[in-house]
Amino acid sequence: MLKILISITIKPTIKMLSETKLALLHQIIQDATTEEIIWTKGYLAGCLDKNANDLSNSNQSLLSNVSVKPLIIYGTETGNSKKIAIQLLSNFKKNKIQAKALDVFQFDVAKLEKETLILFIISTQGEGEFPQNAVAFYDYLKSTKINLNNLSFAVLGLGDTSYPLFCNAGVLLDEVLIEKGAKRLLPLAKADLDYADTVIAWENDLKSVFQNQDPIKTEIKTVVPKSNHKKNYSGQISHKIVLNDRESNKETYHIEITSNDEIVYEPGDALGIFPKNNEAELKAIAVYFDEDNYSVLTDKNIKGLSKKSLEALSKVLDIVVEENKADLLDVINKYQPKKVKLEEIVALLHPIAPRLYSISSSSEAHDGQVHLTVNLNKFKVGAVIKSGLASHYLADFPLHTELEFYIHKNNNFRLPSDETDIIMIGPGTGIAPFRSFISQRDVTGAEGKNWLFFGEQHFVSDFYYQTEIQEWIGTGILTKLDTAFSRDQKEKIYVQDRIRQKATEFNNWLENGASLYLCGQKAPMSIDVEAAIVEVIAAERNISKDAAKQVLEDLEAAGKYQKDVY
Ligand SMILES: Cc1cc2nc3c(=O)[nH]c(=O)nc-3n(C[C@H](O)[C@H](O)[C@H](O)COP(=O)(O)OP(=O)(O)OC[C@H]3O[C@@H](n4cnc5c(N)ncnc54)[C@H](O)[C@@H]3O)c2cc1C
Ligand SMILES: Cc1cc2nc3c(=O)[nH]c(=O)nc-3n(C[C@H](O)[C@H](O)[C@H](O)COP(=O)(O)O)c2cc1C
């Protein structure tokens, strides 16, 4: 039995007496003597005091009954789950519930059997996978003999209905906890990108469970609001150029999309596409299995199949695949499996997942167009150089042909008020949203100062948007620019080195209230940059590294440090 009660502030609504009651009161007063009226007044006052006492007593008993302290554990990749966990923690604290919130990575799994109440908030990443910080926790849970009979839990899964395996990590976590004997307080709640309503409903459901004291008997239906964040658009690529010069190791495209519809987006948003498969590859797969109709494969992901998918296929095809990631056609060509019905293969393939690209334009500055900065993702498989499905699809997409896309809102990556200074760290394609930010501030005349850190391999061949950036410096909209071209000298120099070199000024900007933004590759870039920022804060403020980390965390919690890394 769960013994948590939450004190809920009830706002009294003052109601006048009904006409019938008023008439009755008049009747009593009309015939009463003065002494009787005085006595009645005292009697009524006494009644009021008694109610007041009952109310405060019940409040006291609510608070004194708080005997279980929920632990909120979050697994996150881009910070949404953490944000929700911190908010939930703060709401609990307001209700005098002593809760704790922890990154799943910091949780000591050895103590799991002793826990009595955990609220999990977990997002889904990749192809229905756990966020990086939660992988080890799930693997441990799945593979260890553990008795979780003491544990009551609820899972809030965060996801995106655009992805085929919606909130899959939440589903898997919820399942494994039950497998290990834990008690489910609430049915799994699944939140889409516009998660606010689901989170409120989940929190209310939790409060109901806590108040009813008996979670098992409580029948709760968590509301999952229908998503409305995705409007599908159709447009055309009107302009496409490679931003790198010939000697570059990179192939990064500046792409401009126009549409007859008004494309509604804000700086910080991304564009989502569902890339299409190469028809020749689909045909070759179908032909191998003696099928003419390859259309059943059109929307299926046949590229870069995960280990899990490859294992499932191996069983059906009666082969042993060595690779951890591989394209279906390569598997067929290499292992020459037995010929099964194509539909058996199709049943094991997931739909193609969407890909996101930061928008590098401002609707106001660029006449309603959407611009992207897309790096053609290249990688080696054996001796063969391959390219990523979506980046190749966009890089190759013919001009003036219809392209379907949607706008992925990102309210966690937004410009601050016009007068606030901003520091933008965006090496490589990480520059994309900052081109949008600066263009927007330019066109709206925002007076806050703007400092950009940009980096790539070579000044001559990889300085994206160089002319534009120089113009921004010239007009003064870009207050400061620091570049790091890693391969132009013997020692590699990265944006984090520039941040270290500018430590005093960097810290001054932060102390004066500048908002900090980071965009681009998650690993190793964003990790190294964060480490440098922590070092700078620690050295400049003469505080420990842990204290500096806390400063950065506080900035993040306050929305003054926002990152969009991938
Ligand atoms: C919010 C957000 C914003 C983003 N903004 C940008 C942006 O502005 N610009 C930009 O360029 N990108 C951006 N990205 C990244 C982008 O969404 C894609 O992830 C990227 O373009 C790679 O997708 P792809 O389909 O080309 O590659 P995929 O086909 O998805 O391949 C990805 C990787 O999988 C591996 N792989 C695939 N197939 C195989 C195989 N057969 N064998 C072995 N390994 C394999 C390789 O390592 C490869 O690099 C953003 C991502 C997010 C989440
Ligand atoms: C590359 C990528 C892959 C994703 N894959 C999935 C997925 O397979 N299923 C899903 O429901 N959501 C998926 N999402 C959506 C995230 O779960 C969603 O954005 C969530 O709000 C992120 O929460 P977090 O910031 O706590 O990590 C994916 C997002 C990204 C950027």
The verdict on residue 539 lying in a domain is: yes
Question: Is residue 13 domain-resident?
Answer: no
Q: Which of 355, 374, 409 to mutate to test the pocket of ligand 1 (most atoms within 8 A of CB)?
A: 355
User: Is residue 477 located within the same domain as residue 337?
Assistant: no
Mark whether 439 and 552 lie in a shared domain.
yes
How many Å lie between the centroid of ligand 2 and the Cα of residue 464?
28
Q: Which residue has the higher pLDDT, 436 or 7?
A: 436
Same domain, 369 and 428: no
> Residue 519 in contact with residue 563, Cβ under 8 Å?
yes
* Residues 527 and 508 sit within 8 Å (Cβ to Cβ): no
Dump strand ranges (E) for 290-383.
Answer: 355-358, 370-375, 378-381
pLDDT at 16: 52
Q: Which two tokens stand for residue 481?
A: 């620019």
Whether the per-residue pLDDT at 58 is higher than 70: the answer is: no
**Is the minimum distance from the CB of 274 to ligand 1 under 6 angstroms?**
no
Confidence of residue 96 (pLDDT cuts 50, 70, 90): confident
The ligand placed nearest to the CA atom of residue 134 is 2
Pocket (CB within 6 angstroms of ligand 2): 76-81, 123-128, 131, 158-160, 163, 165-168, 193, 356
**Can you tell me the mean pLDDT for 57-83?**
70
Mean pLDDT of 472-487: 98
- The answer to whether the CB of 328 is under 6 A from ligand 1 is no
By residue range, what is the domain housing residue 154? Answer: 71-217
Q: What is the DSSP string of 94-110?
A: HTT---EEEEGGGS-GG
**Region 405-434: what's the mean pLDDT?**
97
Q: How many distinct structural domains can be found in the chain?
A: 4
Q: What is the pLDDT of residues 302-317, one digit of tens each?
A: 999 999 899 999 999 9
Q: What is the CATH number of the domain that holds 362?
A: 2.40.30.10
Give the residue whose CA is nearest to atom 46 of ligand 1. Answer: 379
CB proximity list for 224: less than 8 A, separation 6 or greater: 189, 190, 191, 192, 198
Return the percentage of the chain with pLDDT > 90, whole number. 80
| CA 533 – ligand 2 centroid, Å | 26
Is residue 180 in some structural domain? yes
Residue 3's pLDDT band, with cuts at 50, 70 and 90, is: very low
pLDDT over threshold 80, residue 223: no
Residues 380-414 pLDDT 10s: 999 999 999 999 999 999 999 999 999 999 988 99
* Residue for token pair 């990631």: 325
What's the one-letter identity of residue 520? G
Q: State whether 502 and 437 are in the same domain.
A: yes
Of residues 272, 300, 281, the one with CA closest to residue 403: 272
Side chain identity at residue 534, one-letter code? V
Of 88, 125, 224, 389, the residue with max ligand 2 atoms within 8 A of its CB, to mutate for a pocket test, comes to 125
Q: Can you tell me whether residue 113 is helix, strand or coil?
A: helix
For the ranges 7-11, 40-44, 229-233, 447-451, the maximum mean pLDDT occurs at: 447-451
- Say whether both 477 and 541 belong to one domain: yes
If one residue of 132, 357, 380 were mutated to test the ligand 1 pocket, choosing by the most ligand atoms within 8 A of its CB, it would be 357
- What is the tens place of the pLDDT at every residue in 513-560? 999 999 999 999 999 999 999 999 999 999 999 999 999 999 998 999
* Structure tokens that stand for 283 in this block: 């045909």
Q: Do 75 and 122 have their domain in common? A: yes
| Domain containing residue 187: CATH number | 3.40.50.360
CA 393 to each of CA 240, 242, 370, 403: distance values in angstroms, whole numbers, following the listed order:
13, 15, 17, 11
Residue 374 has pLDDT above 90, yes or no: yes
Ligand 2 midpoint to CA 537 (Å): 31
> What are the residues facing 125 on neighbouring strands?
129
86 in any annotated domain: yes
* CA angle in degrees (0–180, nearest 5) for 161-377-432: 70
**Same-domain status, 113 and 148:** yes
For residue 311, the SS3 value is: helix
**Ligand 1 near 307 CB (within 6 A):** no
List all residues 6 or more positions away from 170 whose beta carbon is below 8 Å from its beta carbon: 120, 122, 124, 155, 156, 157, 158, 159, 188, 189, 190
User: Does residue 357 line the site of ligand 1, with CB under 6 A?
Assistant: yes
> The whole model's pTM is what?
0.84
Q: Which pLDDT score, from 0 to 100, does residue 66 have?
A: 44
Centre of ligand 2 to C-alpha 154, Å, is 20
Mean pLDDT of the region 85-92: 94
Indicate whether 10 belongs to any domain.
no
For residue 333, the CA-to-ligand 2 centroid distance in Å is 33
CA of 314 relative to ligand 1 center, distance in Å: 25
- What is residue 430's DSSP assignment? G
Cα 431 → chain centroid = 20
Site to probe by mutation for ligand 2, drawn from 105, 133, 158 as the one with most ligand atoms within 8 Å of Cβ, is 158
Residue 129 has pLDDT above 90, yes or no: yes
pLDDT digit string, tens, across residues 294-349: 999 999 999 999 998 999 999 999 999 999 999 999 999 999 999 999 999 999 99
If you take atom 19 of ligand 1, which residue's CA is the nearest one? 355
In a domain, residue 4? The reply is no
How far apart CA 484 and CA 458 sit, in angstroms, is 9
Ligand 1 centroid–CA 502 distance in Å is 32
Mapping DSSP to helix (H, G, I), strand (E, B) and coil, where does residue 168 land? helix
**Which of 80, 356, 409, 424 has most ligand 1 atoms within 8 Å of its beta carbon, as the pocket-test mutant?**
356
Angle at 445 between CA 442 and CA 451, to 5 degrees: 55
| Torsion angle of C-alpha atoms 48, 50, 51, 57, degrees rounded to 10 | 140
Q: Would the CB of 564 count as within 6 Å of ligand 1?
A: yes
pLDDT at residue 460, as a whole number: 98
Question: For 8-27, how does the pLDDT look when each residue is reduced to its tens digit (9 = 90+)?
Answer: 323 333 345 556 566 666 66
Q: What average pLDDT does this structure show over 372-380?
A: 98
What's the confidence (pLDDT) of residue 208? Answer: 87
pLDDT band at 127 (very low <50, low <70, confident <90, very high): confident
Same domain, 175 and 283: no
Q: How far is the CA of 18 from the centre of ligand 2 (A)?
A: 55
pLDDT at 310: 96
The mean predicted confidence, pLDDT, of the chain is 89
Residue 198 half-sphere exposure toward CB, CA atoms < 13 A: 22
> Considering the domain boundaries, does residue 56 fall inside one?
no
Helices (H), 241-292: 279-288
Q: What is the pLDDT of residue 201?
A: 96
Q: Which of 77, 86, 357 to mutate to test the pocket of ligand 2 (most atoms within 8 A of CB)?
A: 77
Of 308 and 465, the structure prediction assigns the larger pLDDT to: 465
377 and 451, same domain (yes or no): no
The reply to whether 47 falls in a domain is no
Other residues' Cβ atoms within 10 Å of the Cβ of residue 96: 13
What is the number of the ligand 2 atom nearest to the C-alpha of 75?
Answer: 26
Centre a 10 Å sphere on the Cβ of residue 171 and count the other Cβ atoms it contains. Answer: 19
User: Are 123 and 263 contained in the same domain?
Assistant: no
Judged by its nearest atom, the ligand closest to the C-alpha of residue 428 is 1
Residue 359 reports pLDDT greater than 90: yes
> Ligand 1 atom 28: the closest Cα is on which residue?
388
Atom 7 in ligand 1: residue holding the nearest Cα: 357
Q: Give the mean pLDDT of 229-247.
A: 93
Q: What's the rounded mean pLDDT across residues 370-379?
A: 98
pLDDT beyond 60 at 38: no
Per-residue pLDDT, 408: 94
Query: Which token pair is 108?
Result: 């000591």
Pair 180, 237 in one domain: no
Q: Return phi, psi of residue 413, to 5°.
A: -140, 80
CA of 242 to the centre of ligand 1 (A): 18
Same domain, yes or no, for 127 and 204? yes
237, β-bridge pairs: 257
Pick the residue with more confidence: 59 or 190?
A: 190
Please report which ligand is nearest the Cα atom of 124. Answer: 2
Q: Of 99, 101, 112, which is closest to residue 73 (Cα–Cα)?
A: 101
CA distances from 3 to 97, 152, 167, 209, 300 (A): 11, 12, 30, 10, 49
